[in-house]
Amino acid sequence: MISVEEARKIILAEIRRMGTERVLLSNTLGRVLSEDLLSALDHPPWDTSAMDGYAVRWNDTAGASRTNPRILKIIEEIPAGTLPQKKIEPGEASKIMTGAPVPEGAEAIVKVEETERHGDQVKIFEAADDGDFIRKKGEAIRTGDLILRKGIRIRPADIAMMASIGRSVVPVYQQPRVAILSTGDELAEIDEPRGPNKILNSNGYGVAAQVIEAGGLPINLGIAKDTREDLDKKLRGGLHADFLIASGGVSMGDYDFVQEVLMELGAEMKFWKVAMKPGQPLAFGVIGGKPAFGLPGNPVSAMVSFEQFVRPALLMAGGRTEVFRPIIQATLEEEVRKHPGRRHFMRAIVSVQNGEYRVRTTGDQDSHILMSLVKANALMILPEAGNIHKAGEKVAVQLLSDVAVAGNELSGLI
Ligand code: AMP
Ligand code: MG
């Protein structure tokens, strides 16, 4: 039996990055950028006005107030999207809209609220300082600036940014295709007519959703019977994918043939037991250069094992630089017990109280109790050696969402 770290190391050493492709900007949400992106232009492209108002030479407004306005001659109107034609000379102003280019000679914008127009003249009620309400060319982004780093998962703000610098086609990593097979004579599909003693296949759906969350494309291979023949037939159907995942059939039972069949199909098995709970049986091998996972059948074990091992592998294949969930330290709200020997991942709720993270379990931790995973937003990580952890103790907690915790030196450690 190997440790969680050893298992992760062995798995990640086998992972190859996917190739890249170019996709339309509007289709990049959630995809992983495959090149550093540099700006090919300045933003804003010229000095622009940050306000609706008047472009002026600032010393023409010196000493201006409500009772003692300066009067300037309006020489031009510059709506956004047009280019100014006239230079501002002393005593002159141009009416300008937000986002319009600032005319030559202008040094500041006076807000329209601080003015009053009379025909081709404008009263200025406020003195301007040099540069007031002018957004300088290249102030937001300069040509050559690093905009987005390779390996990030693209978010809405990133898409807005790419649009603002004129990227209509974006280089991203291809998404790994992940074949998923559920195994067990007792399993039935949700809508299929079924006899008594059948268990509904939940792993097929849960794991597929985890694959999507990790940027992969699930391929559903359905359910295989606990026979070598059916496993062989169904697993073969997944060999063209980039990852192969089976759930169930990896324990010591008389009908647990998944490992055997994977080996017959040419897999080199690397390990099949990890010192953790839930999820001790976990088969990992490489078949034709592709990773193959045999997850435990119990629904919670399957999903927790996926979190610890398949997810980082998928993210790495998909080009992500950050592949681990954030880990925080939280104060235990209750006593928790475990047997020494295996690392426990307890389904838990993290909350913040008085600026401090606190954590409690979500109830029955048996590996078939999905409800305690449904209620959880985190997994409490209890070390192998430990036995009793008392209320008030600090424990490591793995968050089950990708909240970026800047400066969290613990993230990625486990
Ligand atoms: P196994 O690892 O095949 O011994 O399965 C362990 C337990 O998980 C058994 O109670 C199975 O019925 C259950 N199980 C296995 N596969 C699934 C699945 N796809 N969906 C729901 N439960 C499953
Ligand atoms: Mg089974």
Q: What is the CATH number of the domain that holds 64?
A: 2.170.190.11
- Whether 153 is in a domain gets the answer yes
Tell how far the Cα of 200 is from the centroid of ligand 1, in angstroms.
Answer: 9
For 104-113, 180-189, 194-203, 389-398, which range has the lowest pLDDT when averaged over its residues? Answer: 194-203
- Whether 206 is in a domain gets the answer yes
**Residue 404 has what pLDDT?**
52
Cis preceding linkage at 196, omega within 30: no
**Which pTM value belongs to this model?**
0.91
Tell how far the Cα of 175 is from the centroid of ligand 1, in angstroms.
Answer: 28
- Please count the structural domains in the chain: 4
Q: Atom 5 (ligand 1): residue with closest C-alpha?
A: 297
* 186 within 8 A of 198, measured Cβ to Cβ: yes
- Whether 322 is in a domain gets the answer no
Strand 356-361 relative to strand 37-38, pairing:
unpaired
Residue 18 reports pLDDT greater than 70 = yes
Ligand nearest to the CA of 301: 1
- Note whether 264 and 275 are same-domain residues: yes
- Whether 335 is in a domain gets the answer yes
Residue 406 reports pLDDT greater than 80 = no
Tell how far the Cα of 256 is from the centroid of ligand 2, in angstroms.
Answer: 6
- Note whether 76 and 128 are same-domain residues: yes
Q: How far apart are CA 131 and CA 90, in angstroms?
A: 16
Find out whether the beta carbon of 308 lies less than 6 Å from any atom of ligand 1. no
Burial of 19 by CB count in 10 Å (0-12 exposed, 13-18 middle, 19+ buried)?
exposed
Instruction: Tell me the mean pLDDT in the region 367-383.
Output: 97
Find out whether the beta carbon of 296 lies less than 6 Å from any atom of ligand 1. yes
Ligand nearest to the CA of 251: 1
- Note whether 178 and 312 are same-domain residues: yes
The pocket of ion ligand 2, defined by CB under 5 A, consists of 184, 248-249, 297
Find out whether the beta carbon of 204 lies less than 6 Å from any atom of ligand 1. yes
- Note whether 285 and 350 are same-domain residues: no
- Note whether 52 and 121 are same-domain residues: yes
Asked which of 158, 173, 188 is the last residue of a domain, the reply is: 173
Number of neighbouring beta carbons within 10 Å of residue 236: 12
pLDDT (tens digit per residue) in 49-92: 999 999 999 999 999 999 999 999 999 999 999 999 999 999 99
> Of 215, 210, 214, 191, which Cα lies nearest the Cα of 201?
191
> Which domain covers residue 146, as residue numbers?
20-43+140-173
**Residue 258 has what pLDDT?**
96
pLDDT (tens digit per residue) in 155-172: 999 999 999 999 999 999
Ligand nearest to the CA of 205: 1
Number of neighbouring beta carbons within 10 Å of residue 133: 20
- Whether 402 is in a domain gets the answer yes
- Whether 309 is in a domain gets the answer yes
Residue 42 reports pLDDT greater than 70 = yes
Find out whether the beta carbon of 248 lies less than 6 Å from any atom of ligand 1. yes
Task: Report the chain's mean pLDDT, rounded to a whole number.
Answer: 95
pLDDT (tens digit per residue) in 259-294: 999 999 999 999 999 999 999 999 999 999 999 999
Tell how far the Cα of 297 is from the centroid of ligand 1, in angstroms.
Answer: 4
What CATH number should be reported for the domain holding residue 35? 3.90.105.10
**Residue 255 has what pLDDT?**
83
- Note whether 180 and 163 are same-domain residues: no
